Amino acid sequence: MSTTDLQSAIQSLYARTMHGIKPGLEVTVALLEKLGNPHKSLKCVHVAGTNGKGSVCAMIESVLRASGFKTGLYTSPHLFRFNERFRINGREIPDPALAQLIADIEAAAQSLTTRPATFFEISTAMAFEYFKREKVDYAVIETGMGGRWDATNVIQPVLSVITRIDIDHTEYLGADIEKIAWEKAGIIKSGAPVICGPMPVEAEAVIYKEAKEKKVPILGSDEAVFFQCLESRRDDQLLNIEASGHEYPNVRLPLAGNFQTENCGIAVAALEDLADIEGFRLQMKRGLEAVKWPGRFQLLQMKPPVLYDGAHNVGGARALFQTLEEIFPGYGKGLLFSFMKDKDVEGILKTLKPAVEKAWALTLPGDRSMKAEEIAEIGRRIGLEITPVESPQPVLDWLEAGKKRLVCFTGSLYLPEELKKHGFFK
């Protein structure tokens, strides 16, 4: 299949988004049966949560790979290329393998007698089939949204992991923290222990209740892992870590921000539990120091500082605000926002408003994106002046015109693709 044909196949796959997001696992189950149930041959670590789940997946995968295992990693969304969602040993799927996979899974989907499979249901089936073909030792699987009715929730994992829960996707998951936690708790399965990250007490109560009902052991990461931060810099941090009687001194975690320390704690607790269940030794320090997870408080340029952070809900905005204040105190902060229409834009802007010296809004391509003028109007309602722009250039001009300033691009995980056109993310 040529590059043009592959892009056409991917676009056809994207076209399935018009089927929307459908709760229920019946179509995923039927599709996987057509493929011989590839997910049943995999050892999976299943990760759900509102914030941090991608980072936690990346850390778990990196340590497992450093420990000598062949790994599969399935995450979403991607930053630049659809291939990023499917990784073996840290490498995204090559174009020829992707082309074959799309053709095979689309053929199976065409023969279904159910409703049409959605984009995410097809993608999830692709991940399981790819990991089976590649005979991975462990597959680290990130939920797309929610958990209970997420297409990934057909697996029987070795271990379930739930990261911090916050308000997001309310039209699908519910408007309060308990309902959202109930959806996330749906990944808990009998026979698979659970690691629970720090979270609001209302959410934690729901998670622990589900674990008790399923009769599975549950461990809070903040009880199991202890950190000492020796040094916090703009693009990494130096940590002493203690967990399950093991000490990991002087770990250089190449991810900045206190929120990544929390995510690291969840990953370490999960890995220690998994190693205990499966009976293997971890190369924890080597794996954590090798982790790569772009798009989360990522320094794109050092002097003057230009950052990107994928904060697309209030919890993510809160973490971004704290990290900006922690790592860049005294800097004048210019923020450029882009959002999808389904986000709590007012809540995010209110959270970040105290950090903002100057603000702009950019419209991203696609029907789901919010117009820059709409973002500016929401800003006006809360007393935050936001200037609509057609490119990042006015933002960079402001940055260069003053001293001790920084720029942060934020609000959507779809923003990096647009920024790349302007020379960022080289």
Secondary element (H or E) of residue 409: strand 405-410
Please give the angle made by the CA atoms of 245, 247 and 252, to the nearest 5 degrees: 150
Residue 81 has pLDDT above 60, yes or no: yes
pLDDT band at 169 (very low <50, low <70, confident <90, very high): very low
Q: What is the band of 425 on the pLDDT scale with cuts at 50, 70, 90?
A: confident
pLDDT in tens, 180-221: 999 999 999 999 999 999 999 999 999 999 999 999 999 999
Whether 43 shows a pLDDT value over 50: the answer reads yes
For residues 350 and 251, give the distance between their C-alpha atoms in angstroms, rounded to a whole number.
Answer: 35
pLDDT number for residue 24? 82
Q: Rounded to an integer, what distance in angstroms lies between the CA atom of residue 328 and that of residue 318? A: 15
Query: Read out DSSP for 31-83?
Result: HHHHTT-GGGG--EEEEE-SSSHHHHHHHHHHHHHHTT--EEEE-SS-SS-GG
| Amino acid code (one letter) for 88 | I
Distance of CA 150 to the CA centre of its chain: 15
Task: Reduce the DSSP state of residue 332 to 3 states and report it.
Answer: strand
Q: Hey, what domains does the chain have and what are their CATH numbers?
A: 3-289 (3.40.1190.10), 298-420 (3.90.190.20)
What's the token pair of residue 379?
A: 């800003």
pLDDT at 168: 53
pLDDT for residue 171: 52
**73 has a pLDDT exceeding 80:** yes
Q: Report, in this order, helix, strand and coil percent for the chain, each rounded to 5.
A: 45, 20, 35
The predicted structure's pLDDT at residue 78: 92
Burial class (CB in 10 A: 0-12, 13-18, 19+), 78: middle
pLDDT digits (tens, 9 = 90+) for 316-361: 999 999 999 999 999 999 999 999 998 999 999 999 999 999 999 9
Rounded Cα distance, 412 and 410, in Å: 6
The mean predicted confidence, pLDDT, of the chain is: 93
pLDDT of residue 20: 61
The answer to whether residue 126 scores a pLDDT higher than 90 is yes
Q: Which of residues 145 and 264 earns the better pLDDT score?
A: 264
Task: Find the mean pLDDT for residues 133-140.
Answer: 98
Q: How confident is the model at residue 1 (pLDDT cuts 50, 70, 90)?
A: low
What would the mean pLDDT of 159-171 be, rounded to a whole number?
A: 78
Tell me the pLDDT tens digit for each residue of 261-315. 999 999 999 999 999 999 999 999 999 999 999 988 999 998 999 999 999 899 8
Distances from the Cα of 199 to the Cα of 164, 239, 315, angstroms? 5, 22, 11
Three-state SS at 274? helix
Report the relative pairing of strands 159-162 and 138-142 from DSSP bridges: unpaired
List, in order, residues 6 or more apart from 396 with CB less than 8 Å away.
306, 407
402 has which bridge partners? none
| ω into 304 cis (within 30 of 0) | yes
Of 62-71, 171-180, 293-302, the one with minimum mean pLDDT is 171-180
- Only one residue has tokens 């300033």, namely 405
d(CA 281, CA 44): 18
SS3 sequence of 176-191? CHHHHHHHHHCCCCCC
Q: Give the contacts of 86 (CB within 8 A, at least 6 positions apart).
A: 72, 73, 74, 92, 93, 98, 101, 126, 127, 130
User: What is the amino acid identity at position 78?
Assistant: H
Q: Which residues pair with 302 in a beta bridge?
A: none
Predicted pLDDT of residue 170: 47
Instruction: Report pLDDT digits (tens) over 225-258.
Output: 999 999 988 889 999 999 988 999 999 999 998 8
Does pLDDT of 172 surpass 60? no
Q: Report pLDDT digits (tens) over 366-377.
A: 888 999 999 999
Q: Would you mind telling me the total number of residues written for the chain in this entry?
A: 426
The amino acid present at 189, given as its one-letter code, is K
So what's the pLDDT on residue 368? 86
Is the pTM of the predicted complex or chain greater than 0.85?
Answer: yes
